[in-house]
Chain A
């Protein structure tokens, strides 16, 4: 049983003892940890690599790769022959009309103010759709890689280039960080609240003895939770992907 960390910090309780990241299925859940001093705000958890550890989170693949994203205004060099009366941009969280007029006349080239991803652009003439540039369905455009950037080339039905949009393409796969959940229980071990994804553990490799995560046990928010003033035990859950993770870690409750 460890009693003290390398820097002299005294260990109050051991939360995980040599938890094998490869062999333990995620989430790794601790036993009940008795925390009568929770409401002092001085209880902290520290996760330390027992040996060299590699830890990874869930990967998700997003179609946002084919959207247009820019912090600057997006300049579309709309050719004169492409007439339209309005443009609807579809963002991942909804749609917006972005047509611009000056004194009743459309402004060409069209400047689209955007700080968001655009998934689809739909061009209308009156109520009729004259063109759809659907960034996530692979229609109506070609993508050509050039120097790490991409040209989104809008093409007509014969495949002839109409115009180009330059944009660096986002990663298609995102690895989410491993994360910690905290469950709170009262003295009778009745469930009170689960704080999900409270903190993240940076993805990567940790040498033996390296701190992988440190966080305090939050308690102030419990005042807004029913029976939040009666918490006496907590459980710590470590969520990660065990197939791509390896090594052993320890986790400790410390008083600071």
Chain B
């Protein structure tokens, strides 16, 4: 189990540890509840790391002119209060570029939005989050990890 990233960044919490993309039950992967008491500091970030050679693809739509459009794999965040009541979901918080990643490549890094949820919905009581990764499971392969870091 990793406690720091290859560059020395300390890991605050492990969201997924070396999980195979093919092992999801559907075209998404959902995390457990992640306690984020420091959410409102604005310093919490999520980082996705490739544990081996990873291919990640998005949903492919067939358009009317028979061309195709690939929606990038993306991440949504669900916010909860201390009682784990669902407050709000922010969809499409960040995207992951589809394609291949070598071992230890960073696939995605983003901060957890908090000013937006205060400003738009007046939520000062978020305490847990869940991360949802949406992707095209049959076309994806490899193992990934996801970490919560403080920066």
Looking across the interface, which residue of chain A has its beta carbon closest to that of B74? Answer: A200
- A113 interface residue (CB < 8 Å to B): no
Contact size range, B: 35 or more
- A177 interface residue (CB < 8 Å to B): yes
* B72-A197 in contact (CB<8A): yes
* B92-A220 in contact (CB<8A): no
- A146 interface residue (CB < 8 Å to B): no
* B111-A200 in contact (CB<8A): no
A-B contact list, 7 entries, CB within 8 Å: A7-B115, A41-B45, A44-B42, A115-B27, A198-B94, A199-B95, A214-B114
Within 8 A of A (CB), among B43-67: 43, 45, 47, 60-64
Query: Which residues from B are CB-within-8-Å of A60?
Result: 61, 63, 69
Shortest A54–chain B CB gap in Å is: 15
* A92-B62 in contact (CB<8A): yes
* A63-B62 in contact (CB<8A): yes
Within 8 A of A (CB), among B80-139: 90-95, 97, 102, 105-111, 113-116, 119-120, 136, 138-139
Query: Which residues from B are CB-within-8-Å of A199?
Result: 93-95, 110
Q: What residues of chain A have their CB less than 8 Å away from a CB belonging to chain B?
A: 7, 41-42, 44, 46, 60-64, 71, 92-94, 115-116, 119, 136, 174, 176-177, 179, 195-200, 202, 209-211, 213-216, 218-221, 223-224, 256
Interface string of B27-48 (1 = CB under 8 A from A): 1000000000000001101010
Interface centre among B5, B47, B94 (most CB of A within 10 A): B94
* A115-B63 in contact (CB<8A): no
- A136 in complex: contacting residue of B62, B115, B119, CB < 8 Å: B62
Closest CB pairs A-B (n = 3): A216-B111, A200-B92, A221-B106
* B95-A62 in contact (CB<8A): no
Query: Which residues from A are CB-within-8-Å of B68?
Result: 92
Complex: A224 Cα to B113 Cα, angstroms: 25
* B92-A202 in contact (CB<8A): yes
* A62-B7 in contact (CB<8A): no
Query: Which residues from A are CB-within-8-Å of B74?
Result: 200
* B109-A220 in contact (CB<8A): yes
* A44-B92 in contact (CB<8A): no
* A196-B151 in contact (CB<8A): no
- A63 in complex: contacting residue of B63, B107, B110, B114, CB < 8 Å: B63
Shortest B91–chain A CB gap in Å is: 7
Complex: A46 Cα to B114 Cα, angstroms: 11
Complex: A190 Cα to B136 Cα, angstroms: 35
Complex: A92 Cα to B138 Cα, angstroms: 11
* A214-B93 in contact (CB<8A): no
Q: A214-B116, A221-B106 are in contact. Are A71 and B94 (CB under 8 A)?
A: no
Shortest A181–chain B CB gap in Å is: 11
